[in-house]
Amino acid sequence: MDSEHTLPYDTVIEIYDDEQIYNVLAVTEFKPQNAVYIGTRKLKSKRVKNSIITCLRSLGLNTKCFFYSTDMLSLESVIAELTHILSLFDNCLIDLTGGSEVALVAVGMLAREKNIPLLRYDRYERCYRDIYNCPIAEDMKSDPHFNVPSLLALAGGVMKEHGHVSLDTLDNETETDIFRVWEIFKRRHRTWHRLVAFLQQAVKRQSDAGGDELDHISVPSVIYSGDKLVNCDIQLMRELAGAGIILDFTEKGGTLGFRFKSHLMRSCLIDTGICLELYVFAETLRSGCYDDVKLSVVVDWDGDLSQRINTINEIDVMLTRCQIPVFISCKSGTPNVVALNEIKTLAKQFGQTNGRPVLVTMADVRGRDEYLTQRAEDMGITIIDRGDLVNDRLNKRLLAASKL
Say what the pLDDT of residue 229 is: 86
Query: What's the rounded mean pLDDT across residues 296-318?
Result: 81
> Any bridge partners for residue 38, and if so which?
15, 68
**Nearest residue to 302 (alpha-carbon basis) of 117, 157, 402:** 157
Give residue 343's pLDDT band: very low, low, confident or very high (50, 70, 90). Answer: very high
Q: Is it the case that residue 309 has pLDDT exceeding 70?
A: no
**For 354-394, how does the pLDDT look when each residue is reduced to its tens digit (9 = 90+)?**
999 999 999 999 888 999 999 999 999 999 999 999 999 99
229-266 residue pLDDT tens: 888 999 999 999 999 999 999 998 889 999 999 999 99
CA-closest candidate to residue 275, choices 234, 221, 231, 236 = 236
Q: How confident is the model at residue 120, as a pLDDT? A: 94
Alpha helices per DSSP H over 209-262? 234-242
Res. 1 pLDDT band, cuts 50 70 90: very low
Q: What is the pTM of this model?
A: 0.91
Q: Between 130 and 211, whose confidence is greater?
A: 130
Specify burial of residue 109 (Cβ count, 10 A radius: 0-12, 13-18, 19+): middle
The pLDDT-based confidence of 203 (bands split at 50, 70, 90) is confident
pLDDT at 48: 93
**Per-residue pLDDT at 27 exceeds 80:** yes
- Per-domain residue ranges for the chain? 11-144, 172-269, 273-401
Separation of alpha carbons 195 and 240, rounded Å: 11
How confident is the prediction for the chain on average, in pLDDT? 90
Contact residues for 195 (Cβ-Cβ < 8 A; gap 6+): 232, 233, 236, 237, 269
- Say which DSSP state 61 is in: -
Q: What is the pLDDT of residue 329?
A: 97
CB count within 10 Å of CB 175 equals 16
172-269 is classed in which CATH architecture? Orthogonal Bundle (1.10)
Share of the chain above pLDDT 90, in %: 73
Burial zone of 14 (CB within 10 Å; 0-12 exposed, 13-18 middle, 19+ buried): buried
Structure-model confidence comparison of residues 251 and 305, the more confident one: 251
For residue 283, what pLDDT is reported?
97
E runs forming strands in 107-155: 118-122, 127-132, 140-141
For the ranges 35-39, 117-121, 200-204, the lowest mean pLDDT is seen at 200-204
Q: Are strands 221-224 and 255-260 parallel, antiparallel or unpaired?
A: unpaired
* pLDDT tens readout for residues 110-150: 999 999 999 999 988 889 999 999 988 887 888 889 999 99
**pLDDT in the model for residue 144:** 87
Q: Are 327 and 318 in contact (CB under 8 A)?
A: yes
For residue 91, pLDDT beyond 60: yes
Domain 11-144 falls in which CATH fold? Rossmann fold (3.40.50)
At 292, the pLDDT band (50, 70, 90 cuts) reads: very high
Q: What is the mean pLDDT of residues 75-90?
A: 95
pLDDT band per the 50, 70, 90 thresholds, residue 159: confident
Q: Is 273-401 a domain of CATH 3.40.1350.10?
A: yes
The reported pLDDT for the residue numbered 2 is 44
User: pLDDT at position 358, please?
Assistant: 98
pLDDT at 276: 96
Q: Checking DSSP bridges between strand 356-361 and strand 382-384, what pairing results, if any?
A: parallel
Q: Residue 225 above 80 pLDDT?
A: no
